Amino acid sequence: MEIFAIANQKGGCGKTTTATNLAAALALNGKKTLLVDLDPQAHASLGLGVEKEIGIYDCLSKISKNKCSLGDIIVNIGPNFDLAPSNIMLSTLDQELSDEIGRESRLFDILKEAAGPYDLCLIDCPPNLGLLTVNAIRAADSLIIPVEASRFSVDGVKRLVEIVDLVRERLNHPVDYRVLVNNFDSRLRHSFKILNKIKETFGAKVFNTIVHINVKIKEAQSMAQTIFTFDKYSRGSKDYFSLSREIISGEEAIVDKISQQMKKIVQKKAREFAPVTFEFSTEGVNSVFVVGDFNNWTLNDDAKLDKVDGVWKKRLNLKPGAYKYRLVVDGKWQEDPGNPNAEKNPFGELDSLLSVKQ
C-alpha cells in the first residue's frame, strides 16, 4: 500500500478537496483506496456525508472507551473507495499522547496492520504542524502539498519541508513530496505569475496537473458528494482525474522500466541459444526421449518428445557447439534414424552427431 499525506499548515488551500476527489479518482481507476480523515474538523467525512461517533481517534487513542481497530471504523463510500472517518474527539489526542514514547508513529503502526486490502491510502491532514500532521508524515511514502495559485507563500511550504527533513533525520523515515497547484484561474495574469514562481522554486516537484478554480467543486462538497458523482463532465472532474493518472503512471513507469530490463535480459539470453528440433516417426511407439551431452544424458520429462500429428517432436534451445545424442524409444536406446551423421561409441553402438551453429 502506497501512502500519500495531503498536508499544508495553511487552511483553505485545498487539502480536503484534493483528498476526497483524488481518492474518488483513484478508485475510479480501479485502485482500492482508503481515505483517512485526520482532521478533528472532519471536513472530509462531512463532505462525504459521514458523521460518526466512532472514528480514527478510537484507533489512535489508548484510553478511548470505544477503543477499536481500523477495520471497525471503515465506511464504504463507493466501489474501491473506503473512508476512515474523523470527529472532534481527535482534537484531544495531542495532549493525551504528549508523554507517550513513539507517539509520532501511532498512525504508521495502525496503517501497517491494515495495508492488506488497499493499493493506496490518502491522509487528509489538519491545518497545523502538530502531532497529527507529524503522524501523517511519518506514515506516508510521499506528501502532496496543495498550494493556491492566488495566495501562495513559499515560506509556508518551506516550513513544512523542514518538518519532512526532521522526520527523515529523527525517525529515519525518508518522505518524498510533490506540490499541487490548486485554485488556478486562467483568466488572471496574476495566476500565471505565481505559477511561474512555484515552478522556479520547486521545479520537477510540481505536478504537471493543475487544479483550476471550479465552482462545481464547492457545490459538490455542499451536496456531500465527490466531483465525479456530482458532475463528471466538469473541469474539476477532468483535473482530479488527470492528477490520478499522473500519480498512477508514475507507478507504471517504474514497472515498465523493470519489464523492459527483463525483456533485454531475456533477449540477450535468447541470442546465446539456437532452437533445434528432434523428430522421430514410427508407428506403434508409446514413448520417445532424446538424451545427449546437452542434457547430461538424463532421462526425464524435459527430454520427452511429444506426439504432434503422428510425429514425435522435441524442440530444445541449445548453445552453439558439437553434441552426441541418442534416442530412447519405448525404453530401448538407439541412434537417430533421421540423422546420417553418427559415430561408434565405446560400446560399439552408434551415437548421433549434432552441430549447433549460432
Ligand X SMILES: Nc1ncnc2c1ncn2[C@@H]1O[C@H](COP(=O)(O)OP(=O)(O)O)[C@@H](O)[C@H]1O
Question: Which residues are at the interface with ligand X (CB under 6 A)?
Answer: 11-17, 43, 127, 182-183, 211, 213-214, 217-218, 221
Q: Which does 21 bind (CB under 5 to 8 A by kind): Mg ion, ligand X, none?
A: none
Distance in Å, CB of 50 to ligand X, minimum: 16
Minimum gap (Å) between residue 46 Cβ and ligand X:
10
d(CA 70, CA 59): 6
Strand blocks (E) in the chain: 2-6, 33-37, 75-78, 81-84, 120-124, 142-148, 176-184, 206-212, 274-280, 288-292, 306-308, 311-318, 321-329, 332-334, 342-344, 350-356
Closer to ligand X by Cβ: residue 114 or 145: 145
Nearer Cβ to ligand X (21/33):
21
Q: Which CB sits closer to ligand X, 22 or 114? A: 22
How many CA atoms lie within 13 Å of 320's alpha carbon, on the beta-carbon side? 6
- Cell numbers placing 17: 478537496
Compare residues 160 and 316 and give the one whose CB is closer to Mg ion: 160
Which residues are near Mg ion by CB under 5 A? 15-16, 43
The three-state DSSP-derived secondary structure of 16-37 is HHHHHHHHHHHHHCCCCEEEEE
Instruction: Report how far residue 327's alpha carbon sits from residue 289's, in angstroms, rounded to the nearest whole number.
Output: 6
Radius of gyration, CA atoms only, the chain: 32
Give whichever of 85 and 127 is closer to ligand X, judged by the CB atom. Answer: 127
Tell me the closest approach of the beta carbon of residue 269 to Mg ion, in angstroms.
Answer: 53
Residue 98 beta carbon to Mg ion: minimum distance, rounded to whole angstroms:
24
Strand order in the sheet with 2-6: 75-78, 81-84, 33-37, 120-124, 2-6, 142-148, 176-184, 206-212
Q: Which residue is nearest to Mg ion (CB)?
A: 16
3-class secondary-structure state, position 172: coil
Give the one entry of Mg ion, ligand X, none that residue 45 binds, where binding means its C-beta sits below a cut-off of 5 to 8 angstroms depending on kind: none
Nearer to Mg ion, 11 or 338 (CB): 11
> Which does residue 174 touch among Mg ion, ligand X, none (CB within 5 to 8 A, set by kind)?
none
Q: How far apart are CA 90 and CA 98, in angstroms?
A: 14
Choice between 15 and 138, CB closer to ligand X: 15
- Residue 114 CB, shortest distance to ligand X, in Å, is 23
- Say which entry of Mg ion, ligand X, none residue 211 contacts (CB below 5 to 8 A, set by partner kind): ligand X
Beta partners for residue 276, in sequence order: 316
Distance in Å, CB of 184 to ligand X, minimum? 8
* Residue 147, Cβ density class (10 Å: 0-12 exposed, 13-18 middle, ≥19 buried): buried
Q: Residue 222, Cβ neighbours under 10 Å: how many?
A: 9
CB of 72 to ligand X, least distance (A): 26
Residue 218 binding result from Mg ion, ligand X, none, given CB thresholds of 5 to 8 Å by partner type:
ligand X
Q: Taking CB within 5 to 8 Å according to partner kind, which of Mg ion, ligand X, none is near residue 217?
A: ligand X
